[in-house]
Amino acid sequence: MIIGPNAQGKTSILESLSLVTTLASFRTHKTSEMISGGESQASVTAELSNPTRSKVVLGLGENKKFLKVDNKEIPSKSKYPFLGSSVSFSPDDLYLIKGSAEQRRLFLDELGVSLDPGFSKILQRFDQVLKQRNKLLKSIKNGRFLYEEYSLWTEKFVEAAIPVYEGRLRFVKILNDCLPKIYSDLFQTPEALSIEYQHSLSADELIAEALFKKINQLGEAERAIGHSLVGPHRDDFQIKINQFSSRTYGSQGQIRGIVIALKVAQLELTRANRNWSPILLLDDIVSELDDRRVKALINYLTSYPGQLFVTTAEVDKVKALHSQFSGFKIIDLAAETRPFSFTNNPQIEL
């Protein structure tokens, strides 16, 4: 457990752990925001002891990244053996339900990568094709006659989108199979949760046929606006409580409980699928929850077999937490003057 006043680097420690386990920050998607002001590059080095003992070095530059495992360069994200080996939970996640559709898509895609690392390659391929198609649509909007290329990239777009849809539909089904019980067990409530994938395609048609039909309907508008108006990048997800939209009808407490249940589901599904427990990163989340939900989360964490990293500025709540975690080490950043080595239940050491 890492404690200390604000602006002492608590979040940076967890962000570093996130980078070497998911190759992404839970705080930002911009590489420049992960590098200290005035610097042109940054790096994270970590010693992993589970699932295999390895040394990971991740370097960040303004226009490039590099990744090495035991001095061997990893050519792509999909080839990284530890991808999806942590789950993060920060105050920003509490806006998952009422925030943007992009946040919800990102959650489901992160879950998908945790369950199937190959899904990362599918997402990368779709993103590449989407960018190329949008670039083409912008050129057409600006008066260039490129309709042969438009047909070609539309076909590639549909081809790349199909496995994204198939994966997301599969992950939603997996979530629906476990989420209601997790929510009920955490909060001792009869309320039933369900998650629904919201897209604009007809459920009665094959994905390819439905996507081509929708693109044909919106093709003129796409060429006029200059970007793709249909596809996985435009979709959303809805969480329902007793068949009612949590975004519309859920109380603040219910919404926060749902987010906790989603994160616990991500942990449990990853454990079951990967046969080891991902690292859990809790960044100042305790201060954002009411006592009932803090208690529910603590009850779950006390029996979690994986490694936990918790940051907070609220010492009183830390003391309450610490009494329930046997052998849990507290690191006070205000008092520490030496490098940190995290060795309790060691999965990762910095």
Q: Give residue limits of the domains in the chain.
A: 1-85+279-350, 92-275
Q: What pLDDT shows up at residue 324?
A: 66
pLDDT for residue 338 = 46
Sign of CA dihedral 247, 95, 195, 127: positive
Phi-psi region of 284 (alpha: psi -120 to 50; beta: other; left: phi over 0): left
Question: What is the per-residue pLDDT across 24-59, written as a single tens digit (0 to 9) for each?
Answer: 888 887 877 788 777 788 888 988 876 678 899 999
Checking DSSP bridges between strand 54-61 and strand 65-69, what pairing results, if any?
antiparallel
Let me know if the fold of 1-85+279-350 is the same as that of 92-275: no
Q: How far apart are CA 325 and CA 273, in angstroms?
A: 26
pLDDT digits (tens, 9 = 90+) for 99-113: 999 999 999 999 999
Residue 342's pLDDT is what? Answer: 38
Question: Position 51: which residue type?
Answer: P
Query: In angstroms, rounded to a whole number, what is the distance separating the alpha carbons of residues 80 and 82?
Result: 6
245: number of Cβ within 10 Å: 13
Quote the CA–CA distance of 176 and 238 in Å, as a whole number.
Answer: 12
pLDDT score of 318: 63
**Beta-bridge partner residues of 308:** 280
State which residues of the chain have pLDDT below 70.
Answer: 50-51, 315, 317-328, 335-350
CATH class of 1-85+279-350: alpha beta
Give me the pLDDT at residue 289, please. Answer: 80
Q: Are 256 and 250 in contact (CB under 8 A)?
A: no
Q: How does DSSP classify residue 30?
A: -
* Overall fold of domain 92-275: Glutathione S-transferase Yfyf (Class Pi); Chain A, domain 2 (1.20.1050)
For the chain, state the CA radius of gyration.
22
Q: What is the pLDDT of residue 348?
A: 43
Task: Report pLDDT for 181.
Answer: 93
